[in-house]
Amino acid sequence: MATATGGQRIHISGGRLIDPANGLDDRLDVYIANGRVATVGTPPDGFTADHRIDAAGCVVCPGLVDLCARLREPGQEHKATIASETAAAACGGITTLCCPPDTLPVVETPADVELIRLRAEATGKARVVTLGALTRGLRGEHLSEMAALQRAGCVGVSNAMQPLSNTLVQRRALEYAATFDLTVFLYANDHWLASGGCAHEGKVATRLGLPGIPEAAETAAVARDLALIEQTGVRAHFCRLTTARAVRMVARARYEGLPVTADAAIPYLYLTEIDVSDFDSRCHVMPPLRTVEDRQALRDALQRSALDAICSDHQPHEPDAKQGPFPSTEPGISGLDTLLPLGLRLVDESVIDLPGLLRSMTSAPAGILGLPGGTLSAGAIADVCIFNPELTWQLDLQSMRSHGHNTPFLGWEMKGRVTHTLLAGRIVHRLEQDS
């Protein structure tokens, strides 16, 4: 199937345009030229479209920005590749993916950053940005060359889920990042409290005989991190919060003026510790699924904007990775295929309105990453997602586009499907023929 090129002029007509960055929610046409948004509403003088997309009955919004997607390349190509996962992203309306630094090898040199960028550009399906390693090899002992990583294009630094050797190393790392105005992406997890655990410490884990991870593994880490953020002045983002108390702590810190943001992964807005009751390894995630009360707190926080963004926390696995006793299976859910439809289910359940949902998946994560995307302003890069909110479909192995099929949402009926995705003015996904 031929796709439009960035040099073509495209007219998107008849859709409901939602652009949270500009407070737009109206039936407006979008005009695209030279890979950028030319105008919204009225065509530019002398504009003649080379290609027209009829978006009647559909929502037109900025391309989704996913704060965390492990693409498994380099180093774990048996699980997935940049090519396979960016193609899945395009099918899900996601135009920008942020890759954590825990690849093989770790993203700790400009060459590592360049490798990922070039492979993503070769596929042409989605934009991939990277976080650089906070410490060398993510071993938590010596600081990485953050300045070089920033110059190479890293949008922030993180130690992913790997612990730092001590609190002094963390303080020095945050101070160093602050000197370069780099955002530090923090996974709030006390390694020693969580060590050996695979499920939330509570009645379910006790009944199943599974080693537990207490709520304090997250909250103690958040308390430590907030103290160091206040001392160093670094800009920080808390990744994948799971507990009610941690969300309240971060919200309070932000109210007091600390430069902090936070996100939640979409599976934690649906699943709880109860979902592991039959030892379903598809629900083995890290951090673990928490209580029903924690899930409700995450939903409430999203509603009142105490959580800034929603991400997929995409972690594709080969089938063998989820076989065996629950504790020995690899944690993670394949999430690119379900990010938008599960988000739309939150709208149907009145957890959040549609503009608010799209803000958490477009302009908010773009702002956290310091990227110019997430908007359809005139002159902006034409990353566009067009979806039909009424189309229903079932998530099964045939409908999934990710190479990883490890998801507990298989068999769920989904509502809302992407019909077109544009990356810098190129159509990189089309569900059905447009006019």
Does residue 5 register a pLDDT over 80? no
State whether 159 and 22 are in the same domain: no
Is 363 within a domain?
yes
Backbone angles phi, psi at 143, to 5 degrees: -70, 145
Q: Report yes or no: 389 and 341 within 8 Å, Cβ to Cβ.
A: no
State whether 159 and 240 are in the same domain: yes
Per-residue confidence band for 6, with pLDDT thresholds at 50, 70 and 90: low
State whether 197 and 227 are in the same domain: yes
The pLDDT assigned to 435 comes to 37
Parent domain of 345: 64-369
Catalytic residue among 19, 308, 313, 383: 313
Q: Which amino acid is at 282?
A: R
> 131-166: per-residue pLDDT in tens?
999 999 999 999 999 999 999 999 999 999 999 999
> 266-297: per-residue pLDDT in tens?
999 999 999 999 999 999 999 999 999 999 99
Does residue 248 register a pLDDT over 70? yes
- End of a domain among 369, 393, 416? 369
Rounded Cα distance between 178 and 237, Å, is 13
State whether 84 and 101 are in the same domain: yes
> 31-82: per-residue pLDDT in tens?
999 999 999 999 999 999 999 999 999 999 999 999 999 999 999 999 999 9
State whether 265 and 407 are in the same domain: no
State whether 285 and 400 are in the same domain: no
State whether 154 and 223 are in the same domain: yes
Per-residue confidence band for 23, with pLDDT thresholds at 50, 70 and 90: very high
Query: Tell me, what CATH number does 114's domain have?
Result: 3.20.20.140
User: Considering only CA atoms, which of 78, 153, 85 is closest in space to residue 120?
Assistant: 85
Query: Tell me, what CATH number does 393's domain have?
Result: 2.30.40.10
State whether 268 and 406 are in the same domain: no
HEC letters along 310-379: EECCECCCCHHHHCCCHHHCCCCECCCCCHHHHHHHHHHCCCCCHHHHHHHHCHHHHHHHCCCCCCCCCC
The pLDDT assigned to 3 comes to 42
Task: Determine whether 313 is an active site residue.
Answer: yes
Q: Average of pLDDT values for 378-399?
A: 97
Q: Report yes or no: 38 and 47 within 8 Å, Cβ to Cβ.
A: yes
Does residue 432 register a pLDDT over 90? no
The pLDDT assigned to 420 comes to 98
- End of a domain among 330, 345, 369? 369
Is 89 within a domain?
yes
Does residue 404 register a pLDDT over 80? yes
Is 4 within a domain?
no
> 321-350: per-residue pLDDT in tens?
999 999 999 999 999 999 999 999 999 999
Per-residue confidence band for 7, with pLDDT thresholds at 50, 70 and 90: confident
Does residue 4 register a pLDDT over 70? no
State whether 345 and 421 are in the same domain: no
Does residue 434 register a pLDDT over 50? no
State whether 268 and 131 are in the same domain: yes
> 184-221: per-residue pLDDT in tens?
999 999 999 999 999 999 999 999 999 999 999 999 99
Is 114 within a domain?
yes
The pLDDT assigned to 1 comes to 32
State whether 358 and 386 are in the same domain: no
Is 376 within a domain?
no
The pLDDT assigned to 135 comes to 98
> 409-425: per-residue pLDDT in tens?
999 999 999 999 999 99
**Rounded to 5 degrees, what angle do the CA atoms 270, 271, 274 make?**
140
The pLDDT assigned to 224 comes to 98
Q: What is the tally of structural domains in the chain?
A: 2
